[in-house]
Homo-oligomer: A and B are copies of this chain.
Amino acid sequence: MNNLINGGFEGKIYPVNPREDEILGLRSYPNIAAMPETPDLAVIVVPPKSVLEVVRECVRKGVKAGIVITAGFAEVGEHGARLEREVLDAARAGGMMLVGPNCNGIMNPFEKLYVQFPPYFVPPGPIAIVAQSGNVVDALARQIMLRGLGCSICISSGNEADLHIEDYLEYLAEDPHTMVILGYTEGFKAGKRFFALAKEVSREKPIVMIKPGTTPAGARASLSHTASIAGSDAVFEAVCKQSGIVRARNLEDLLDLGVALLRQPLPKGIRVGIVTGGGGAGVLTTDACAELGLDVLSLPEETIEELSSFMPAWWSRSNPVDLVAGSSPDTSFRAVETVLRCPIVDGVIMMSIMPALRLKRPPASADEADRRRWGDNLVKAVVNVLERFGNLADTYQKPVVVASEQMFADAFQEARITQALGQRSLVCYHMPHQAAAVLAGLAKYGSYLQRYGKRK
């Protein structure tokens, strides 16, 4: 309730509690029957053994939707599973839909509806999260905020007694605020429906997913967490491939890829050109790309020649294109553009934006104001560099994934840069393996859309 109030919800809020007349400044009702009108949504946070009765009361009042945050159902064994079925039966008999139980609730930032239990408020934005684990929702939502972005909705689906991931997907497909869907599921209750739906939704907006339980130990853990049967990992892998779901290997990949899909054009194939401000980063990126099935191709002679026309004489004359010390700031952009223009290149990874920046640092004698100004200029300069790479990507309709060492070893400055970029749906990854994973994910999704066509 605190979150609902602090989040700025503009509708009416009715606390219900048998012992209090007033809660957080609002008049409280002893039971649902006593409420002056039928609410659109009931958020249920009573102890597990009272949930059934509350749902029955809601049904009698005509409530059509509820979120059961309470845990202690199917995830704790047979007794809880029975209770969960009874709750479900009561809700369905009364035409009431349920989120949960055993979940963290929902955040809908566009409606200022924050009915989740952790006390933070994701701003509105283009990313939807639907996860069976409340703390995975948290981890993702907080990272999205740290990256300067926001969410269309965050759904902690819990045990999915009534509403399943399929139902949420169906909703998100039509939600105009949602541009990309990040999902975490520990198992499916209606696998065939999920598959059929994902195939269609993927043609409209990208779905990036994690499904743990890939190992026997992980499968056991998910059984005790959300009572999910992990099922065969090979089957899920095949489902992803055939339904256009991009599978992430861990939460970082999930985020990295989700953010990339907001803005990057999709590659038409797996052939990648690497332009790098540092040789080691080039080698690491090459390995990471090759491990993920991307082709760090040999550039054709005419592309090499064109690069040679403006690169320092001692450049590597191969892919990765190593900018080497002594390149002018403009060389980065020209090199990326030259490689992008090459017809057999499907996308470019640009490693290290340092050569493109060439910012003077403040002298040791600089005062606070000088340093602040320098910091402001740096943020602008980095945003400008990323915008320019983004524009090249738009022009050639090929992705340009940029990654760079964290540049100034100043955590506060880095945080400012990340936020400023995020606000423009831009991102500068840090590590070679991140850039490779993002491009590999984009290529997978691109290949699905090429096969099945994008839906308008």
- Which chain A residues have a beta carbon within 8 Å of chain B's beta carbons? 6, 48, 71-72, 75-76, 80, 117-120, 122, 131-136, 138-139, 141-143, 145-146, 184, 186, 210, 212-218, 220-222, 224-226, 249-252, 277-284, 286-291, 295-296, 314, 316-318, 320, 322, 324-325, 352, 354, 361, 364, 405-409, 411-412, 414-416, 418-419, 430-433
Query: Smallest distance from the beta carbon of A278 to chain B beta carbons, Å?
Result: 2
User: Which of B142, B218, B412 lies in contact with A409, CB distance below 8 A?
Assistant: B142
- Complex formed: what's the CA distance from A350 to B195 in Å? 35
Query: Which B residues touch A412, using CB under 8 A?
Result: 412, 415
In chain B, what residue has the closest Cβ to A296? B217
Contact A138 B405 (CB under 8 A): yes
Pair A287/B415 contact, Cβ less than 8 Å: no
Q: How far is the CA of A213 from the CA of B142 in the complex (A)?
A: 36
In-complex Cβ contact of A224 among B214, B252, B289, B316 (8 A):
B316
Closest 6 CB pairs of A and B: A133-B280, A135-B278, A411-B415, A218-B287, A215-B290, A225-B279
Known A-B contacts: A146-B406, A210-B284, A414-B415. Give 15 more (CB < 8 A).
A71-B325, A75-B279, A117-B325, A120-B408, A120-B409, A139-B281, A139-B430, A142-B409, A143-B406, A221-B282, A221-B286, A224-B322, A225-B282, A250-B432, A252-B431
Q: What is the bound-complex CA distance between A131 and B431, given in angstroms?
A: 16
When all copies of this chain in the complex are counted, the total is: 2
Question: Whose C-beta in chain B lies nearest to the C-beta of A361?
Answer: B119
Choose among B132, B221, B251, B364 the residue that contacts A433 (Cβ–Cβ < 8 A). Answer: B251
Chain B residues with CB under 8 Å of A222's CB are 283
Chosen A-B contacts, 18 in total, with CB atoms closer than 8 Å, are: A72-B314, A76-B314, A134-B278, A135-B281, A135-B352, A136-B278, A141-B409, A142-B408, A186-B280, A212-B283, A215-B290, A217-B295, A218-B287, A225-B279, A225-B280, A249-B433, A411-B418, A415-B415
Q: Tell whether, in the assembled complex, residue B278 and residue A6 are in contact, meaning their CB atoms are under 8 Å apart.
A: no
Q: B431–A280 contact, CB under 8 A? A: no
| Nearest-CB residue, chain B, relative to A214 | B287
Q: Are A291 and B215 touching (Cβ within 8 A)?
A: yes
Residue pair A314, B283 in contact (C-beta under 8 Å): no
Give Cα distance in the complex from A418 to B146, angstroms. Answer: 14
Closest residue of chain B to A226, judged by CB? B279
Chain B residues near A324: list those with CB within 8 A.
Answer: 71
Whether B218 pairs with A286 at a CB distance below 8 angstroms is yes
Q: Which of B283, B295, B317, B430 contacts A225 (CB 8 A)?
A: B283
Contact A212–B316 (Cβ < 8 Å): no
Whether A218 touches B290, Cβ cut-off 8 Å, given contacts A142-B406, A224-B322, A414-B146, is yes
Task: Tell whether, in the assembled complex, residue B280 and residue A131 are in contact, meaning their CB atoms are under 8 Å apart.
Answer: yes
Residue of B nearest to A437 (CB): B250
Known pairs A280-B132, A431-B250; A287 contacts B217 (CB<8 A) = yes
- CB-CB under 8 A from A415, the residues of chain B are 411-412, 414-415
Q: How far is the CB of A230 from chain B (nearest CB, A)?
A: 9
